[in-house]
Every structure is written in structure tokens, then in C-alpha cells.
């Protein structure tokens, strides 16, 4: 603006000077001597000089205008690029021109906005990344739907829970993703009433797993929606059922001997004490039932101790397998003779394992006692210990007894499970022996397998890690 005003002023002065000179020469021709004065300017000369001055001024104005226009164009283009680069554009780190005019102030303002926008975006990215990490790491399933019950978000745990195999789920209706009317009605009710609700249901598409879902309203940019969090309680339900079954089984197992004790005690009190012929028999029955109660209590305590691995430290003694087998066979030898069953130690190598000698001997005694009790007169029980191809110790106890039906094999290690309930009680079993054996073997980092044919006998194999003799 200052340059333009200066140019106009210079042009006006030059034109005024030219016109004034021409006017002065034309009005006083007699005051000067012709010899001393220069030729007078004609009107044509004046017009020519004014034209030259005007053209020079126009040319100079064009040069100035070009320079100013180019400078403004560059600055406007820079502002345009800075605005287009929002947010976090490539010009955010470029130096801002130190200019005091309006364009300079605008550029500085845009630069400040770019910095604030970048900080805001960084915070949003951090929050988004943290949210995704939290939701992806959750074991609970998370589902969000809009007011039309279209899926807007769900995490990986939810997709695993419903066995979803597709890659796209956002924007689809809930029933297209989860074909369960219970979940659908729950979320619809939450959207309608606006109240948080809880429901326990079983997803048929998720291998019959049970979930407890907590649903509540969710404010979304498109309006109100709903969010549901699914807790997988299948394991809790199974444990609860196991607890109920255990209480029922214990109650049943205790009720039978208690009923015998109470019944025969009442018989004695009602006058049988004077019956010299039968009173001793009644007392023996009471004692037998009391011993059975004691055996059940003792086995339950052993199971409790084996399962409480946190409170009870695991013993790591080096045990001679041959010594434990010989001790167990000597313990059951008298019962084997009474039942006419032969105990045969076959190929017992000198091997060593690590664990509790008392618990291992107890497990072997349970297996040998079962092999004797459920054997036939004149039958055999063969015991052997050898190193298998994997370098582990394999202890085998085989009998020629009644065998186990194939449908019962998967359940014989459950507590209180009996293949032949009447015969088991008759021989004095508690129904906990094989469960104790399984816990003992697993605590020694081993495994137990069974093979059986009905009417031909059973073979139990304990596989345990081998211990080095140098540890003795």
C-alpha cells in the first residue's frame, strides 16, 4: 500500500512539473532572451512527456504489483497447505514466518491450532490403543449394539464364545451374529426400559457353555445403544454340580453304615442284649459299619490333603520302586491267601522315582487290594516294574478277575463311583480308592491308564518320571 501511494505521488509530481513548465514558457516569452533560452515545449512535446511518465509509472506499477501478488500468492498457498495438512500435517514442524501483518497472525494462529490438534489426536490414539488392549485382553465377552440392535463392537473373547467364524460383524443385526433369542430379548428390553438387567443363559452355538450377562444402556454418537458383558460360568457351574454330587454321595455313603449301626443298636437296646446267641453277631455288625465309617473318613481326609497342593508341600524323596512294591505285596499277602489269590512279582527292575514313599505305597496297596477283592478263587495278580521306551518307570498291576465293562472305564476314577455297588460294599470298599490313586500319581507328575475285558481281568499301569540314583 505504501509503495502504491509513493508511485502515485511521484507520477503526479512529474506530470505537474511538466505542465507547469509548459505553462510558464508560453505566458512570458518576452522576459527572456531568445539566445539564452531553450526551445519552447510544444503541446506535442508535453503530451509525449506525460505519456512517457505515465507508461513508466504503469510499468513500475506492474512490476510492483507482480512482486506483491507473487508474495501474497506464496503466503496464501502456504496457509492453504497448512490448513490441508490438518491434523498433524507435514508443515506442523516448519518455521512460521515472523510477520506482523494479518496473514502472519493467521499463520501463527493456524500453527497453534495444529499443535493443539496433534496433542488431542495423540491422546485419542493412546486412549483408543489402551481401550483395545484392555478389551482384547479381557476374558469376558463384550458386545455393543445400537438402537436397531446392530452390532457396533465386540471383542475377541465374545467371538470365541459364540464360535464366530466370519471376519465381518460390525453393522450386522444381532440375530445374524448370535442366534440366541435370550440375548436378543435382554438387549431389546434394556433399550426399551433403560434399566440394567442380568440374565443367565446357555448358548447353544458355543458347545453348550453357560454365560451370565450384564447389560446396560450406552450413549453413542448415533443415539442410545446397549452394551453387554458376558461372563463364562461354565466351570463354576460344573464345580457347583461336582460339589452337590459329592455332598449327595457322601451323605449316601454315610447313611448306609449309620443306619446299620443305629438299627442294630436299637435291637440290642430292645432286649437283644439278653440273646446270648445273636448279641455278639449284632455287635460285630455294628463294629463293621463303624470301621467302614472310619475308612470313609480316612479316605476323605487323604483326598483333601492330596488336593490341597498349596497348603501341603510336595515331597520329593527318591524312592526305590522295588522296595515299595515288595512292602505292598507283603502287606496284602495274608488277604490274598484268604481269598486264594496268587501274588506274583514279575520282572521288577531296580528303578527309582521321586515323590512321597507313603503315598506311592498307599496307591499301590489300593490297586493290589482291588485286584485281590475283585478276583476269582485261584486267580492271579501279577506285578511288574520296568523302564518304558520313553525312559519312564512303568508299574503294572494285572489281575485275572471279573473285569470292568467298557462303558464304566472313563468314570472309575471318580469319587464314590462303583462298577458293582453291591459287591463293592460287600468287600468293604469306600469308592474312593481309585480316586486316591489318580491324585497320588498326578501329584508325582505321572499318569495312570487301565485296560480291561469283562470276565478276563484288568491291567492298571502307572507311568512315573524316573529319578536318578545320584540323588540318594
Sequence-separated (6 or more) residues with CB below 8 Å from residue 166: none
* Beta pairing, strands 380-387 & 393-399: antiparallel
The span from the CA of 80 to the CA of 99, in Å, is 17
**Is residue 470 very low, low, confident or very high in pLDDT (cuts 50, 70, 90)?**
low
The number of CA neighbours under 13 Å toward the Cβ of 32 is 13
Percentage of the chain lying above the pLDDT 70 cut: 80
Q: What pLDDT, in 10s, does the model give residues 213-233?
A: 899 988 877 788 899 988 888
Q: What is the CA angle 408-411-415, rounded to 5?
A: 130
Q: What is the structure's pLDDT at 15?
A: 65
- Is the predicted pLDDT of residue 381 greater than 70, yes or no? yes
Dihedral sign of CA atoms 141, 146, 149, 150 in order? negative
CB atoms within 10 A of CB 53: 18
- Is the predicted pLDDT of residue 271 greater than 70, yes or no? yes
**Is residue 244 very low, low, confident or very high in pLDDT (cuts 50, 70, 90)?**
confident
What is the mean pLDDT of the segment spanning 100-120? 76
Say which residue the cell 433403560 belongs to: 194
Who has greater pLDDT, 59 or 94? Answer: 59
Buried b (16+ CB within 10 A) or exposed e, 200-232: ebebeebeebbbbbebebbebeeeebbbbbbeb
- Is the predicted pLDDT of residue 143 greater than 80, yes or no? yes
Q: What is the structure's pLDDT at 70?
A: 79
- Is the predicted pLDDT of residue 345 greater than 70, yes or no? yes
Closest CA to 26 of 6, 40, 10, 39: 40
Sequence-separated (6 or more) residues with CB below 8 Å from residue 191: 147, 149, 217, 224, 225, 226
Who has greater pLDDT, 327 or 274? Answer: 327
Q: What is the DSSP string of 196-219?
A: -EEEEEEETTTTTEEEEEEEEEEE
Q: What is the DSSP string of 102-141?
A: HHHHHHHHHHHHHHHHHHHHHHHHHHHHHHHHHHHH-SSE
**Is residue 368 very low, low, confident or very high in pLDDT (cuts 50, 70, 90)?**
very high
Q: In Å, how far are 216, 249, 299, 400 from 241, measured between CA atoms?
A: 30, 12, 21, 36
Q: What is the DSSP string of 424-452?
A: HHHTT--S-HHHHHHHHHHHTT-EEEEEE
Q: What is the CA angle 259-264-266, rounded to 5?
A: 95
- Is the predicted pLDDT of residue 140 greater than 60, yes or no? yes
**Is residue 460 very low, low, confident or very high in pLDDT (cuts 50, 70, 90)?**
very high
Q: What is the structure's pLDDT at 37?
A: 47
Q: What is the structure's pLDDT at 194?
A: 85
**Is residue 32 very low, low, confident or very high in pLDDT (cuts 50, 70, 90)?**
very low
116: left (phi over 0), alpha (psi -120 to 50) or beta: alpha
- Is the predicted pLDDT of residue 88 greater than 60, yes or no? no
Q: What pLDDT, in 10s, does the model give residues 393-420?
A: 999 999 998 888 888 888 888 877 777 6
- Is the predicted pLDDT of residue 464 greater than 50, yes or no? yes
Strand, coil or helix: 360: helix
Of the listed ranges 4-8, 276-280, 347-351, 404-408, the least confidently predicted one is 4-8
Q: What is the structure's pLDDT at 310?
A: 47
Who has greater pLDDT, 68 or 451? Answer: 451
Closest CA to 228 of 216, 246, 243, 244: 216
Write down the pTM of the prediction.
0.53
* Beta pairing, strands 352-355 & 380-387: unpaired
Who has greater pLDDT, 273 or 228? Answer: 228
- Is the predicted pLDDT of residue 361 greater than 70, yes or no? yes
Q: What is the structure's pLDDT at 420?
A: 65
**Is residue 24 very low, low, confident or very high in pLDDT (cuts 50, 70, 90)?**
low
- Is the predicted pLDDT of residue 352 greater than 80, yes or no? yes
Who has greater pLDDT, 9 or 209? Answer: 209
Strand, coil or helix: 411: helix
Closest CA to 41 of 15, 28, 23, 14: 23
What is the mean pLDDT of the segment spanning 429-440? 82
Cell numbers for 83? 490448513
Amino acid at each position: 500500500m505504501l509503495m502504491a501511494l509513493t508511485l502515485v505521488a511521484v507520477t503526479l509530481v512529474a506530470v505537474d512539473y511538466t505542465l507547469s513548465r509548459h505553462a510558464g514558457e508560453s505566458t512570458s516569452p518576452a522576459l527572456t532572451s531568445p539566445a539564452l533560452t531553450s526551445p519552447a515545449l510544444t503541446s506535442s512535446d508535453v503530451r509525449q512527456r506525460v505519456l512517457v511518465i505515465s507508461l513508466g509509472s504503469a510499468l513500475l506499477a506492474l512490476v510492483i504489483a507482480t512482486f506483491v501478488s507473487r508474495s501474497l500468492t506464496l503466503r496464501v498457498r502456504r496457509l492453504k497447505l497448512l490448513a490441508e495438512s490438518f491434523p498433524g500435517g507435514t508443515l506442523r514442524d516448519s518455521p512460521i514466518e515472523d510477520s506482523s501483518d494479518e496473514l502472519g497472525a493467521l499463520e501463527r494462529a493456524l500453527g497453534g491450532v495444529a499443535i493443539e490438534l496433534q496433542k488431542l489426536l495423540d491422546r485419542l490414539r493412546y486412549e483408543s490403543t489402551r481401550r483395545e488392549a484392555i478389551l482384547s485382553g479381557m476374558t469376558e465377552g463384550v458386545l455393543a449394539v445400537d438402537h436397531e440392535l446392530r452390532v457396533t463392537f465386540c471383542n475377541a473373547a465374545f467371538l470365541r464364545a459364540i464360535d464366530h467364524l466370519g471376519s465381518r460383524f460390525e453393522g450386522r443385526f444381532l440375530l445374524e451374529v448370535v442366534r440366541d433369542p435370550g440375548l436378543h430379548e435382554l438387549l431389546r428390553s434394556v433399550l426399551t426400559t433403560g434399566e440394567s438387567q442380568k440374565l443367565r443363559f446357555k448358548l447353544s452355538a458355543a458347545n453348550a457353555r453357560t454365560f451370565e450377562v450384564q447389560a446396560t444402556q450406552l450413549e453413542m454418537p448415533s443415539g442410545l445403544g446397549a452394551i453387554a458383558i458376558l461372563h463364562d460360568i461354565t466351570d463354576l457351574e460344573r464345580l457347583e454340580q461336582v460339589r452337590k454330587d459329592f455332598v449327595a454321595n457322601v451323605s449316601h455313603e454315610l447313611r448306609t453304615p449309620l443306619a446299620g449301626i443305629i438299627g442294630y443298636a436299637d435291637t440290642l437296646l430292645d432286649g437283644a442284649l439278653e440273646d446270648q446267641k445273636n448279641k455278639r453277631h449284632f455287635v460285630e455288625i455294628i463294629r463293621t459299619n463303624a470301621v467302614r465309617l472310619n475308612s470313609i473318613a480316612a479316605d476323605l481326609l487323604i483326598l483333601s490333603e492330596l488336593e490341597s497342593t498349596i497348603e501341603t508341600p510336595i515331597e520329593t524323596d527318591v524312592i526305590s520302586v522295588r522296595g515299595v512294591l515288595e512292602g505292598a505285596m507283603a502287606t496284602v499277602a495274608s488277604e490274598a491267601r484268604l481269598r486264594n489269590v496268587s501274588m506274583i512279582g514279575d520282572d521288577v527292575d531296580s528303578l527309582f522315582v521321586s515323590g512321597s514313599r507313603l503315598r506311592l505305597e498307599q496307591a499301590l496297596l489300593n490297586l493290589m487290594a482291588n485286584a485281590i477283592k475283585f478276583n476269582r478263587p485261584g486267580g492271579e495278580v501279577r506285578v511288574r516294574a520296568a523302564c518304558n521306551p520313553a525312559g519312564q518307570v512303568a508299574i503294572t498291576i494285572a489281575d485275572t478277575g471279573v473285569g470292568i465293562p467298557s462303558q464304566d472305564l472313563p468314570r472309575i476314577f471318580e469319587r464314590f463311583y462303583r462298577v458293582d455297588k453291591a459287591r463293592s460294599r460287600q468287600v468293604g470298599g469306600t469308592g474312593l480308592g481309585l480316586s486316591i490313586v489318580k491324585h497320588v500319581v498326578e501329584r508325582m507328575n505321572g499318569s495312570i491308564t487301565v485296560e480291561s475285558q469283562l470276565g478276563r481281568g484288568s491291567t492298571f499301569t502307572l507311568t512315573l518320571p524316573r529319578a536318578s540314583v545320584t540323588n540318594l
